[in-house]
């Protein structure tokens, strides 16, 4: 029998990090739709993220993306975050939006371009020193579009050399999180396309180099929870970029497209000891709210993650292990499905009440009038976006 008090306690200490860029305008190559009240500055992005934490209680940090969130004084930005009741979290580098990076950044054939890219990564570590961030997250758009365009082997040499220089620069309390992605924007080869490539590079660097699993970065049909189990077992799972997709890297709300997959992933996290705070797993969202309102989109996403986590925490591990050992295929599957088929919304409403929060974060946010207030106040200036 699962200990409900322990499940509630575990849910109260959940921590989900929000992406600053989810609060800015985003879209596709076809259109980026502007929305009223969208932040114009990293400060306003933090203000909006703080609303998500205010109503969910489990989103106390915000990942930044440099230069999208570049400011003159990062110490002051971190202070502003604290004033809003949140903290600056993971620092994301960006070596995918400069004309120089057409043929790659750290994997580019031209050493001058590689130098420029590595210097940006090192500058992001300086930002971490100012904001007190633990993690540097690296995703590389690097790849090729046609066979023969470049040496796949030489590009790996360049990647390893760049990562080694950045890893060397990190402080002892800082970590490098390497994110892989199957394809896009490159359409023939991607230099960090899968968990194996990311893991091999992290093992070569050192124990503070860990792999990030972005749930939108796999080939259709990939058993992502298997990858999670493997990385946890290897002690190299650094974190997640949570989102969901029907087709490619759609960056939809986590749990929206495939809540059962999210449950299976969180089941492996819980069973693999990754949910314990001391495991140091960074649970981050990485999403784009192209057509839906952004703050409610983030609140709904956090709630989806809470629901998948609650169901995973309700799995009767003893019954499951007994059925598995007995080779009771249907019995074991039933233990898992019983947890998944449990309506955990009343449990989460109770947890929120016990945290002093409104049991219905979406309704509470709507009643707050925040959206109307910022839409009225944020007139003029340039709305934030990806600047792509
Ligand atoms: C790349 C990615 C990466 C970010 C970007 C915003 O697709 O997932 O994590 O830097 O989205
Ligand atoms: Mn990502």
pLDDT in tens, 41-53: 999 999 999 999 9
Please state the rounded mean pLDDT for residues 25-51.
97
- 78 falls in which pLDDT band (50, 70, 90)? very high
Alpha carbon 67 to its chain's center: 18
Q: Which of ligand 1's atoms lies nearest the C-alpha of 141?
A: 1
Give the helix/strand (H/E) hosting 285: strand 282-285
Q: What is the pLDDT of residues 266-279, one digit of tens each?
A: 999 999 999 999 99
What are the pLDDT digits (tens) for 139-198?
999 999 999 999 999 999 999 999 999 999 999 999 999 999 999 999 999 999 999 999
pLDDT at 265 over 80: yes
- SS3 of 135, please? strand
**Ligand 1, atom 11: closest residue by C-alpha:** 286
Q: Which residues line ligand 1 (CB under 6 A)?
A: 21, 92, 139, 179, 181, 214, 241, 249, 286
Query: Helix, strand or coil for residue 78?
Result: helix
Q: What percent of the chain has pLDDT over 90?
A: 99
Ligand 1 centre and the CA of 3: distance in Å? 38
Mean pLDDT estimate for the chain? 97
pLDDT at 76: 98
What separation, in Å, do the N-terminal and C-terminal C-alpha atoms of the chain show?
Answer: 52
* Spacing, Cα 286 to ligand 1 middle (Å): 7
Cα 168 to ligand 2 centre (Å): 24
What pLDDT sits at residue 388? Answer: 60
Say how far apart CA 106 and CA 160 lie, in whole Å. 9
Taking alpha carbons only, the member of 126, 127, 199 closest to residue 163 is 199
Q: Which residues pair with 244 in a beta bridge?
A: 252
For ligand 2, a single-atom ion, the residues with CB < 5 A are 214, 241, 286
Q: Give the sign of the dihedral formed by CA 134, CA 304, CA 237, CA 69.
A: negative
Which residue CA neighbors atom 4 of ligand 1 most closely?
A: 139
CA distance 341 to 263: 11
Residue 379 Cα to ligand 2 midpoint, Å, equals: 30
Question: Cα(344)–Cα(340) distance, rounded to whole angstroms?
Answer: 9
State the pLDDT at residue 339: 98
By alpha-carbon position, which residue is closest to atom 10 of ligand 1? 139
Q: How far apart are CA 258 and CA 244, in angstroms?
A: 7
Q: How far apart are CA 307 and CA 66, in angstroms?
A: 31
Q: Of 146, 173, 178, which is closest to residue 162 (Cα–Cα)?
A: 178
From 22, 218, 241, the mutation candidate for ligand 1 (largest count of ligand atoms within 8 A of CB) is 241
Map tokens 């207030």 to a residue. Answer: 373
Ligand 1 pocket mutation pick from 187, 192, 244, 286 by most atoms within 8 angstroms of CB: 286
Ligand 1 atom with the shortest distance to the CA of 92: 10
In ligand 1, which atom is closest to the CA atom of 65?
10
Question: Does pLDDT of 1 surpass 80?
Answer: no
pLDDT of 182-205, one tens digit each? 999 999 999 999 999 999 999 999
The stretch 57-63 carries a mean pLDDT of: 98
Q: How far is the CA of 21 from the centre of ligand 1 (A)?
A: 10
Supply the pLDDT for residue 165.
Answer: 98
Residue 280, sorted as left (phi over 0), alpha (psi -120 to 50) or beta, turns out to be left
Residue 139 alpha carbon to ligand 1 centre in Å: 6
| Choice from 89, 214, 243, 387 to test ligand 1 binding pocket (greatest atom count within 8 A of CB) | 214
φ and ψ of 126, to 5 deg: -60, -40
Chain centroid offset of residue 362 CA: 21
Q: Are 214 and 243 in contact (CB under 8 A)?
A: yes
Which pLDDT band, with edges at 50, 70 and 90, does 254 fall under? Answer: very high
Residue 78 alpha carbon to ligand 1 centre in Å: 22
């Amino acid at each position: 029998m699962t200990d409900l008090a322990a499940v509630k306690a575990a849910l109260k200490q959940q921590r989900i990090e929000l992406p600053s860029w989810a609060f800015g305008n985003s879209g596709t190559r076809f259109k980026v739709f502007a929305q009223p009240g969208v932040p114009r500055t990293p400060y306003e992005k933090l203000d909006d993220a703080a609303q998500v934490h205010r109503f969910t209680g489990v989103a106390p940090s915000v990942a930044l993306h440099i230069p999208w969130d570049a400011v003159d004084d990062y110490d002051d930005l971190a202070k502003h975050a604290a004033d809003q009741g949140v903290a600056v979290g993971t620092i994301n580098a960006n070596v995918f939006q400069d004309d120089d990076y057409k043929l790659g950044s750290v994997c580019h054939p031209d050493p001058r371009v590689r130098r420029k890219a590595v210097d940006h990564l090192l500058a992001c570590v300086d930002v971490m020193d100012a904001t007190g961030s633990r993690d540097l997250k690296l995703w590389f758009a690097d790849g090729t579009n046609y066979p023969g365009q470049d040496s796949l082997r030489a590009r790996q040499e360049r990647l390893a050399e760049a990562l080694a220089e950045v890893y060397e620069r990190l402080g002892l309390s800082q970590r490098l999180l390497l994110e892989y992605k199957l394809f896009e924007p490159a359409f023939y080869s991607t230099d960090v396309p899968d968990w194996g490539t990311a893991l091999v590079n992290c093992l070569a660097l050192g124990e503070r180099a860990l792999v990030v699993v972005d749930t939108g970065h796999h080939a259709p049909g990939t058993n992502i929870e298997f990858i999670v189990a493997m990385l946890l077992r290897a002690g190299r799972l650094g974190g997640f970029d949570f989102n969901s997709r029907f087709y490619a890297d759609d960056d939809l709300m986590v749990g929206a497209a495939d809540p059962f997959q999210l449950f299976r992933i969180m089941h492996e996290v819980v069973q693999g000891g990754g949910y314990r705070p001391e495991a140091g797993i960074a649970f981050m969202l990485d999403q784009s709210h192209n057509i839906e309102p952004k703050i409610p989109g983030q609140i709904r996403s956090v709630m989806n993650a809470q629901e998948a986590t609650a169901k995973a925490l309700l799995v009767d591990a003893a019954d499951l292990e007994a059925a598995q050992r007995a080779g009771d295929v249907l019995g074991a599957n039933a233990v898992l499905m019983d947890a998944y088929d449990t309506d955990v919304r009343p449990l989460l409403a109770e947890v929120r009440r016990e945290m002093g929060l409104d049991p219905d974060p979406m309704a509470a946010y709507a009643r707050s009038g925040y959206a109307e207030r910022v839409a009225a106040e944020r007139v003029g200036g340039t709305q934030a976006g990806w600047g792509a």
